Amino acid sequence: LEAHLAWDLGLVGKVPRSKIEDTFAWVVDDCELDIRPAAPPSLATHAPAAPVAAPAPAAAAAPVAAAAPAAHEAETSIRVAVEKVDALINLVGELVITQAMLKQVSHALDPVHAEQLFAGLDLLERNTRDLQEAVIGVRMLPVDAVFRRFPRLVRDLSSRLGKHVRLRTIGEGTELDKGLIEKIADPLVHLVRNSIDHGLEMPDVRRDAGKDETGTITLAASHQGGHIVIEVSDDGRGLNRDKILSKALERGLSVPDNPTDAQVWDLIFQPGFSTADAVTDLSGRGVGMDVVRRNIQALGGEVQLESKAGNGTRVLIRLPLTLAILDGMTVAVAGETVILPLAYVLEALQPQPEDVRTMAGEGRVLRVRGEYLPILSLSEYYGFGGRTKDDSLVVVVEGDGQKIALEVDELVGQQQVV
């Protein structure tokens, strides 16, 4: 036995079909969506009984004429099953691999006698990149498909908790891979619930602190390089540093001496960690922030947290635009080939002996423009067994707000990874 719920909605106005489809993008895979132009009203309906209404047929024809642009607009877009798009992306991935193989083989040829071949391979590489970007663009949806579900959530939670909350959204048109949009919703819901429950104060407390009684939750999205950055912030009380440290010590967590703010905030991502005094159906169970970070990392992303007492908290989520095909930097390490995600690479450089230091208990560090970065030998880390060259290079990468210098033997080039 199956039961279905259906709505029949009538829209009055001159609206392109694509705009209507965008509105229902967040449920298009979970329902049957049928959009069709409304039938023009009959002349008899609009013609009055009096004979003086002779111009009525011309007036009645107006809706028909107005419907013509909408019908033309409907022909400019089609609905395609996600499985077909995924199959197309997989084929493009195979094409990228084939193109990379041909380019690698071409290096063994005599450039004098294979000039035309090299020119053709360069053209193939450019065309493959253009095709890849076009196909990936088919899977892109505006992040508004996620953002539009939050006004109701904010309204329900604020009413339930007795708080005054306004929701502000920025960058709703920023596009993200459909697969990521489906998986980012739950982490964002948890962060918004946390901001309302833990971050924002009650109206009287905000008033006494000289704040607007209505707190603000901000959801923002933007493109930065090869990433999309989603921000969830509030203008509430901020994190309580002393309380977090106290709870961490109670639970026996490892806390460094004189920890920085970033190290303290990182404690709330520990499994089971909570500063709530009581367990409710909204918070206090210690299940949440660690799951948020784990889910974001599973998508190839990272989470950063910033907070200032009395001024609120900001959570930054950085995600790749797509998981289908990634750009990588190819490096050689002890005779092996390693590919580093290009989106995390900041720079590559040749370290000078005077810039390398050995810190007691910290290993080697590299001074880069006044900043000391830990050095990690990829040969030792992966157990390749070979010895790193004396004139080795370092590649500076950044993840989760932390920088590290990776020691490698040689920079091979850039390569796409499927």
What does the pLDDT read at residue 94? 83
- Contact at 8 Å (CB) between 237 and 309? yes
Closest CA to 275 of 251, 257, 310, 305: 251
What does the pLDDT read at residue 132? 80
Query: What count of other Cβ atoms lies within 10 Å of the Cβ of residue 374?
Result: 14
pLDDT class for 211, splitting at 50, 70, 90? very high
Determine phi and psi for 149, rounding to 5 degrees. Answer: -85, -10
User: How far is the first Cα of the chain from the last one, in angstroms, to the nearest whole number?
Assistant: 43
What does the pLDDT read at residue 159? 93
pLDDT class for 127, splitting at 50, 70, 90? confident
Distance CA 134, CA 94 (A): 16
Token pair in block for residue 374:
């830990």
Question: What is the rounded average pLDDT of the residues 205-213?
Answer: 93
Specify the range with the lowest mean pLDDT, choosing from 54-58, 92-96, 103-107, 332-336: 54-58
Question: What is the rounded average pLDDT of the residues 179-197?
Answer: 90
Instruction: Tell me the residue ranges of DSSP E strands in 131-277.
Output: 140-142, 164-170, 175-177, 214-224, 227-234
What does the pLDDT read at residue 254? 83
pLDDT class for 285, splitting at 50, 70, 90? very low
pLDDT class for 158, splitting at 50, 70, 90? very high
Token pair in block for residue 161:
């908790």
Closest CA to 181 of 83, 322, 276, 45: 322
What does the pLDDT read at residue 276? 67
Any residues with CB less than 8 A from the CB of 176 and at least 6 apart, and which?
Answer: 140, 141, 142, 143, 184, 221, 228, 319, 321
What does the pLDDT read at residue 28? 61
Token pair in block for residue 124:
């193939």
- pLDDT, averaged across the chain: 81
Q: Find the angle CA(317)-CA(341)-CA(295) to the nearest 5 degrees.
A: 35
Token pair in block for residue 273:
């960690």
Determine phi and psi for 340, rounding to 5 degrees. Answer: -100, 135
Among 5-19, 33-47, 235-249, 311-325, the range of highest mean pLDDT: 235-249
Task: Give the predicted TM-score (pTM) of the model.
Answer: 0.66
**79 against 54, higher pLDDT:** 79
> Is the predicted pLDDT of residue 218 greater than 90, yes or no?
yes
Distance CA 86, CA 65 (A): 39
> Is the predicted pLDDT of residue 204 greater than 90, yes or no?
yes
Give me the percent of the chain exceeding a pLDDT of 70. Answer: 82
- Contact at 8 Å (CB) between 333 and 379? yes
**413 against 211, higher pLDDT:** 211
- Start-end of H helices in 167-288: 178-194, 203-208, 241-250, 261-265
In single-letter form, the type of residue at position 372 comes to Y
Q: At what angle do helices 150-161 and 178-194 cross, to 10 degrees?
A: 10
What does the pLDDT read at residue 229? 93
> Is the predicted pLDDT of residue 274 greater than 50, yes or no?
yes
Question: What is the rounded average pLDDT of the residues 207-234?
Answer: 92
> Is the predicted pLDDT of residue 73 greater than 50, yes or no?
no
Question: What is the rounded average pLDDT of the residues 67-81?
Answer: 57
pLDDT class for 74, splitting at 50, 70, 90? very low
Determine phi and psi for 137, rounding to 5 degrees. Answer: -60, -25
Token pair in block for residue 385:
């067994």
Distance CA 104, CA 168 (A): 50
Closest CA to 228 of 155, 138, 319: 319
SS3 at position 152? helix
Question: What is the rounded average pLDDT of the residues 236-249?
Answer: 90
Q: With the C-alpha atoms ordered 388, 392, 394, 395, is the resulting torsion angle positive or negative?
A: negative
> Is the predicted pLDDT of residue 408 greater than 60, yes or no?
yes
Token pair in block for residue 80:
């395609």
Question: What is the rounded average pLDDT of the residues 315-337?
Answer: 83
> Is the predicted pLDDT of residue 66 greater than 50, yes or no?
no
**363 against 233, higher pLDDT:** 233
